[in-house]
Chain A
Amino acid sequence: MPAIELSHVTKRWGGYYGVDDLSLSIDDNAFVTLLGPSGCGKTTTLRMIAGLETPTSGKITIGDKVVFDSATGVNVPPNKRKVGFLFQNYALWPNMTVRQNIVFGLENDKTLSKAQIEERLEHVSSIVKIEPYLKRYPSELSGGQQQRVAIARTLAPRPDVLFMDEPLSNLDAKLRLEMRSELQRLHVDTGATFVYVTHDQTEAMTLATRICLLDNGLLQQYDRPLSLYRDPVNLFTADFVGSPSINFINASAAGSGSVIDLTLLEGKHLTFTPNTPLDLAAARSAIAADAQAQAAAEAERSKVKGYVKKENTESNFKYRVPTVDGNTDPAAEYVVGVRPESVRISEDGPLTGVVYSSMPTGMDTTLRIRVGNLLLTSVVFGSVDYALDEQVRFGFAGDGVLLFDAGSGKQVARGRLG
């Protein structure tokens, strides 16, 4: 049974679509992150589920209860949705002590006895280790302690669903890392469903069981973190997930089946072997048909009463091929995406480049390799360093090289490049 179900949820302000026709199913006990650049609609989505924002249209179900339905006019207020919400700025009540902050929500629940409230208070404050501060006021606590109090307050009523809106962004780097692992523990220990908003892809990758990636109000991909990383559906996802960022290389392609000849990196020829045989022409026409179907669906939608034309149709995202002189590389029909760890330095690599920069951390070294005017990022594991301007040979390892259609940004195939 899904814990939360969103179907065709739209939120717009005039012609600006904050969230555009979002359908999402969040499983019970999942840890879902809503990820995306700022202004992509992730916080709005979270607030709509919590009831703090009213969707323009759509339907939201929590558990087996419909909490919002624009068709039937159902709109359950937030205090009746039995959810917890952790705010970015903690939103502790300054006029109450830590203890009062935590029990406030419990006292609103008339079914709890005094003893039960005491017990809950003890329990949650021991989970987040704030027992010594119960008599203090929020202003007398450090940022990290305030954060813990906010978590305790959110946990105390034992919500089935816990929403978090960038809860770690106000903490310093070290504390953030610590809290991250505690949140993961908390998720397992409480057995609640977590929905977590962040713009930090590392946070999303490391914490979530599933990531919902949004851009410009539109769902880009909803998948497990590693699937998102390995098998991104489009250029935006490929670019947004992963640090350092994926390499994009403009390419032109010829051939079909399992041998596709790619021309890339200033005229070099490599063979792309897709994991499943690929008909380039067919794939492209499928993409075109898809776009047509979408336009048709949009036209259908526009006939519905109360439709407002979407003004924010253009995403801010443009894929970028890094160059030495900063000029843009002339666009091609296809884009090859290679993760930095797949750009492998080896004696017998098919390509040659020059080390542009080398940044060892001890655990790994991030290299920038220059090929003509183009730059590629490579991560070499282990304690190695390279001299700048040294010539290196390299190739692309593994079967995870991605081929995208440049025009639509859609992924066409995964495979080997050599």
Chain B
Amino acid sequence: MSTSTLEPARTASKRRKRELGDGPELHTHKAIGVHKKKLNPGRIIAWAVLILFMVVTLFPFYWMVRTAFSTTTSLAAEASNLLPADFTLGAIKRVLGLQSFEESLAQGGSGASMDFLLFMRNSLIVSTVVTICQVACCSMAAYAFSRLRWPGRDAVFFAFLTALMIPPVFTMLPNFVLMKDLGLINTFLGIMLPTMFMTPFAVFFMRQFFLGIPREIEESAAIDGAGHWKRFTRIVLPMSSAPLITLALLTFITTWNDYMWPLLIARQPAVETLTVALGIFKGQTPQSGPDWAGLMAAALFAALPVILLYLLLGKRLINSIGFSGIK
């Protein structure tokens, strides 16, 4: 090894031959060593920036966890403590309705009980139905926009896409009036209807993927006697499982996290979603401030399903977004 470094005149290929002849094991060790030394200042800065971003992103989440395990009454005094202030599982119990009224008051809670499982159920119903309907309808619409030929198709698609530019706030009030006229205030249907069938993004997303499927794939099915519906369900949809899962995941998460619309439309416990119900810990407190620990504990529980989904399918989600981006 040392001989080759002493002879700079040798060509790289010659040297490699020699080293391989000397003993390949030693060679690989050296290669790893060289690789490690590549940590130049640029890389260090890049890593530092990434770590900084990660801290900035994750810190609020950590703060939520930390507060959830604190006692509300001690929070103000220990504001700079990075660890839970006066560690307790009280807030968690409160969210699950396992704490007595007195205990709740003592720990800074409102004493109000929260039927967590009910709100969880409501959120699950809304998110699941919206997800299923939206994926089904949007993929059909996307197929029509990408594969069927009908007059004015591209113009309609363009008009449809411009809807992406309209901020949701603009449509909120008209939608509310509409729901009110339809008598759908305080119903699941009222919460779900605006996003249940289609959103421009989902249609756009699926259409782009369908356009990437070679035409021959469908043409060969057509020649084999399959009509549009069969081609769609038996060939196009199964081929698009990755983007479909991505879309389902994104829709589920968006619906689960939605706050503004359910807040407007549904204020009765029977239909209230979890995001709205969290307000219990903020609102009716007889004492000076909101029940932060209870609120954070509830928020933590509310975020759990989404976090679980990410843990289970996150890789697939990222992969398929990348995949459909290339197409």
Contact = CB atoms under 8 A, between A and B. Distances in A.
Q: Which of B217, B220, B230 has most A Cβ within 10 Å?
A: B220
B235 interface: yes
Contact of B225 (A88, A93, A157): A157
A175 to B, nearest CB: 21
A257 to B, nearest CB: 57
A85 B220 contact: yes
Given A93-B235, A95-B238, A95-B239, A108 B220 contact: no
Contacts of B219: 52, 78, 85, 87, 91
Contacts of B30: none
B245 to A, nearest CB: 14
A284 to B, nearest CB: 48
Nearest to A94: B239
Contact of A104 (B214, B216, B221, B241): B221
Interface in B215-261: 216-217, 219-227, 230, 234-235, 238-239, 241
A104 B222 contact: no
Given A78-B219, A89-B214, A108 B226 contact: yes
A345 interface: no
Given A79-B227, A87-B216, A108-B230, A52 B222 contact: yes
A400 interface: no
A353 interface: no
A314 B297 CA distance: 78
B210 to A, nearest CB: 14
Given A104-B234, A108-B230, A87 B222 contact: no
Interface string A122-159: 00000000000000000000000000000001000100
A93 B230 CA distance: 13
Contact of B222 (A79, A88, A92, A95): A79
Contact of A83 (B216, B223, B226, B234): B223
Contacts of A91: 214, 216-217, 219-220
Nearest to A109: B225
A225 interface: no
Contact of A79 (B216, B226, B239, B241): B226
Q: How large is the interface on A (under 10, 10 to 19, 20 to 34, 35 or more residues)?
A: 20 to 34
Q: How large is the interface on B (under 10, 10 to 19, 20 to 34, 35 or more residues)?
A: 10 to 19
A108 B226 CA distance: 7
Contact of B226 (A89, A96, A104): A104
Interface string B188-230: 0000000000000000000000000010110111111111001
Nearest to B241: A95
B223 A78 contact: yes
Interface in A50-100: 50-52, 77-79, 81, 83-85, 87-89, 91-96
A51 B224 CA distance: 12
Interface of B is mostly: helix
Nearest to A47: B219
Contacts of A50: 223
A105 B220 CA distance: 9
B238 to A, nearest CB: 4
Interface of A is mostly: loop
A175 B220 CA distance: 23
B239 A93 contact: yes
Contacts of B214: 89, 91
Contacts of B221: 93, 104
Q: Which of B217, B223, B239, B241 has most A Cβ within 10 Å?
A: B223
Contacts of A79: 222-227
A93 B222 CA distance: 12
A329 to B, nearest CB: 45
A332 B226 CA distance: 58
B224 A157 contact: yes
Interface string A36-57: 0000000000000011100000
A84 B223 contact: yes
B225 A105 contact: yes
A85 B223 contact: yes
Contacts of A94: 239
Contacts of A96: 238
Nearest to B240: A95
A161 to B, nearest CB: 11
B263 to A, nearest CB: 42
A89 B230 CA distance: 22
A416 to B, nearest CB: 50
B243 to A, nearest CB: 13
Nearest to A95: B238
Contact of B217 (A85, A93, A109): A93
Nearest to A159: B223
Nearest to B217: A91
Contacts of B234: 104
A153 B235 CA distance: 15
A104 B217 CA distance: 13
B235 A95 contact: yes
B244 to A, nearest CB: 12
A119 to B, nearest CB: 18
A105 B238 CA distance: 17
B139 to A, nearest CB: 15
B179 to A, nearest CB: 40
Nearest 9 Cβ contacts at the A-B interface: A105-B224, A108-B225, A91-B216, A95-B238, A91-B220, A87-B216, A79-B225, A85-B223, A78-B222
Given A52-B222, A105-B226, 6 more contacts: A93-B239, A95-B241, A104-B226, A104-B234, A105-B223, A153-B224
30 contacts: A50-B223, A52-B219, A52-B223, A77-B222, A78-B222, A78-B223, A79-B223, A79-B224, A79-B225, A79-B226, A79-B227, A84-B223, A85-B220, A88-B216, A91-B214, A91-B216, A91-B217, A91-B220, A94-B239, A95-B238, A95-B239, A95-B241, A96-B238, A104-B221, A104-B234, A105-B224, A105-B226, A109-B225, A153-B220, A153-B224
